[in-house]
Amino acid sequence: MQRIVVLSTDNHPGYFFYLPIVAHYWQHFGWEIAIFETQGIPYYDYIQNARYYPIPEIEGVRPGTCAQTVRHFVADVLPRDAYWMVQDIDLIPLKPWEPDLNARTVWGFPEMTGGTFVPVHYTGMTGDKWYELMGCTGDLKADMEREMKRNGRAYAKQEDWEIWWNTDWDILTQKIIPRKNEFTWVPRGMVSCGRFTVPKGRIDRCSIEVDPETNAYSWGATKEQYKKIWTDAHCENHNPSSPEKWKMIRGLLVEVFGEVPSWMDEHATNHYSKYGVH
């Protein structure tokens, strides 16, 4: 059975910087890639053998919200006999993920969100099950707009960040929880790393530290977890391609994978040269 990771991004440089990097490592672990993009994303020839799809524009909804929410409805365009899993564009996988391809799987609920929302990333099932769960009709834009209007969060005012930012989480939660007995709930667990509490095995941007004398960045306390449990790296979106921050990210990738492809250094340099501080 095909295994597809679904990635999406809007045209914020702090997000689409990670597109070829995250795609590369999911392919490294044996997954195919489907990429959903808003307008204004550069084409990266570093990414090989990926599927590309435009994200529909929906009147009154921020492009970033469309980029987050589209992932739940891609059964409208992806093969329904494939298994596909939703992922975040700024979450780099550090180890293989091998779900039961016959199950509807949610990972890390309720601990990762305190039971408020079903975590979007790592949620996976076959395309036909996604299609049925989300009430898909074959019309990607219409299905997204229907559910966003029903939910309402996507249309909140800009200052109500905590409302509109959780649109995709809430839509998915409202679909899954009433049918929770149909799902396999895989615990991830949470760990305390100094003053930070994060999902077990996650190296997280929340603990990033900066040396005041050298301006060197480091991952801090969350990287101090036992190396064998490292699972993913949750990366920050403010100027990630700067030489200082890329050195930190690159160092982690070398530590896990032994080396990085030469094109990644070129990508970081070109991205920073073009987009600068963002």
Give the pLDDT confidence of 66-86 residue by residue, as tens digits: 999 999 999 999 999 999 999
Could you give the CA distance from residue 226 to residue 203 in angstroms, rounded to a whole number?
11
Q: What is the separation of C-alpha 180 from the centre of its chain, rounded to a whole number of angstroms?
A: 23
Using CA of residue 265, residue 46, residue 88, residue 200, what is the dihedral sign?
Answer: negative
Say which DSSP state 73 is in: G
pLDDT tier for residue 276 given thresholds of 50, 70 and 90:
confident
How far apart, in whole angstroms, are the C-alpha atoms of residue 6 and residue 8?
7
pLDDT digits (tens, 9 = 90+) for 206-265: 999 999 999 999 999 999 999 999 999 999 999 999 999 999 999 999 999 999 999 999
Q: At what angle do helices 167-176 and 140-151 cross, to 10 degrees?
A: 90
The verdict on domain 1-188 having CATH code 3.90.550 is: yes
Of 28, 109, 27, 38, the C-alpha closest to 71 is 38
Q: Where are the domains of the chain?
A: 1-188, 189-278
Instruction: Tell me: pLDDT of 165 over 90.
Output: yes
Query: For all residues of the chain together, what is the average pLDDT?
Result: 96
Beta bridge partners, 96, equal none
Strand stretches in 70-211, DSSP E: 83-86, 91-93, 105-107, 124-126, 184-186, 190-193, 196-199, 202-204, 209-210
Among the residues of the chain, which ranges form H helices?
Answer: 13-16, 19-28, 63-69, 127-133, 140-151, 161-164, 167-176, 243-257, 262-275
Four-CA torsion 276, 17, 201, 6, nearest 10 degrees: 160
Q: Which candidate, 207, 201, 209, 271, places its Cα nearest to that of 241?
A: 271
Q: Locate 124 and state its tokens.
A: 């996976």
- Residue 106 sits at φ, ψ, to 5 deg, of -120, 135
- Name the residue among 217, 204, 200 with its Cα closest to residue 91: 204
The pair of structure tokens assigned to 194 is 């100094």
Name 55's Cβ contacts closer than 8 Å, sequence gap at least 6: 8, 10, 36, 37, 38, 63, 66, 67, 70
Residues 113-157 have pLDDT tens digits of 999 999 999 999 999 999 999 999 999 999 999 999 999 999 999
pLDDT at 26: 98
Q: Annotate 222-235 with b (16+ C-beta within 10 A) or e (fewer).
A: bbebeeeebbbbbb
Whether the model clears a pTM of 0.85, i.e. scores above it, the answer is yes
By DSSP bridging, strand 91-93 and strand 32-37 are unpaired
* 174-188 pLDDT per residue, tens: 999 999 999 999 999
